[in-house]
Amino acid sequence: MFELSFSITQILKVFGLFFITAIAEILGCYFPYLILNQGKSHWLWVPTALSLAVFVWLL
């Protein structure tokens, strides 16, 4: 009835996008933790905003 055909490149592409999305989400949550609880530099807000923007775009 239905034929599923996945190539290895499609599988790797989906896995790669999933992995990048997960890393962007983790960094977007970890950087504010470092700033607010560990007293790290406020310059970490820049990569925080960038990683959350990448995360939202990939969703």
* Per-domain boundaries in the chain: 20-58
> 25 — alpha (psi -120 to 50), left (phi > 0) or beta?
alpha
Residue 1: per-residue pLDDT: 66
Q: In whole angstroms, give the CA distance from residue 49 to residue 40.
A: 16
> Which residues of the chain, if any, have pLDDT below 70?
1
In this prediction the pTM is 0.82
* Biggest distance spanned by C-alpha atoms of the chain: 59
Residues 54, 31 contacting (CB under 8 angstroms): no
